[in-house]
Amino acid sequence: MRAVRGAAIALAAAILAGCQAAPAPTIPAEAVLVAGGGEERVELNRITDEVWVHTTYADYEGSRVPSNGLLVVTDAGVVVVDTPWTPEQTEVLAGLALEAFEAEVTAAVVTHAHPDRMGGAPYLRDEGITIISLEIVATTAAATGYVVPDDVRTGDAVALTLGGVELEVSYPGAGHTVDNTVVWIPEHRVLFGGCLVKEQRAVTLGNTAEADVDAWPVSLEAVARRYPTADVVVPGHGAWGDLGLVDHTSSLFG
C-alpha cells in the first residue's frame, strides 16, 4: 500500500481492541473519522462498528457535491462499496482504513459507471484490488471508458461472501442510469441504494441526463419489495435514513 498524502486522522479516544481469537481489524471508538484535506478530504461516519459511510466531495455545476459509499470491515480486510470521485481520494480512503482499522482494502463493489461511483477505480486497479460488479455495470463501464471490473457477476442478483460478511448485489431495473445497482448487507440490515435513491431533502431527481424516468418508479418498487427489513438506507448523495427514502424518491415523480 502506497503512503497516503495528508491522511492524518483525528482520533479523540483509544482504539478498541479487536477479537483476540483471530486477527480481526480493530474498531475505532469514534463515530466520525476524517483524513486528507481540501479536494482530497475523506469522511467516515459509523452506521455500525463494521459498516461505515465514506463521503467525498467534488465540484459539479458550481456546487460542492457530497457523494456516499460504504466501507465494510471484515475479518479478511476492508470492502468498499463504490469509490470516491477520484483516484487520489480513493488512496486517502485506503490509508484511512489502514490506520483506523489496521486492515487493507481487499475488494470493491461498484454500483454503476459514473465518476461518483467508480472514479477511483484506477487506484484500485493499480494496487491490484479486486473490483466487483454485475455484468450490466461492467458492460456500461467498457462502453464509456471507465475501468472495467475484473470480477464480473452474471444475473440480476448475486450473493457475495467477502471476509465472512454476506452482501447481495442486485439490479432492480433502470432508473438514474440504465445500470444502477444496489447492495444489501443482511447482517446489518443496511441497504446501499446509490443514486437510485434520493435523500429526504431532495426536491428533484437531480442529474437525469442518462435516466429512464419511466422505469425508475418501477425499479424503486422492486427495491422496496426485495428489502422490506432494511433499517438503514444510504443514498448516493446526502443524508441516509430508512426505507422512507425509497418512498420519498417515488414521490418526486408526482
Residue positions annotated with a catalytic role: 112, 114, 116, 176, 207
* Helical spans, DSSP H, in 127-170: 135-144
**CA–CA separation, 146 and 113 (whole Å):** 7
* Contact yes or no for 164/185 (Cβ under 8 A): no
How many helices (H) does the chain have, and how many strands (E)? 6, 13
- Classify residue 168 by burial, with Cβ atoms within 10 Å: 0-12, 13-18, 19+: middle
At 90, the amino acid letter reads: T
* Cell numbers that stand for 195 in this block: 443514486
Angle separating helix axes 216-226 and 244-251, nearest 10 degrees: 160
Q: List beta partners, residue 184.
A: 168, 191
Tell me the residue ranges of DSSP E strands in 96-139. 105-109, 130-134
At 136, the amino acid letter reads: I
Write down the residue that cell numbers 460504504 correspond to.
70
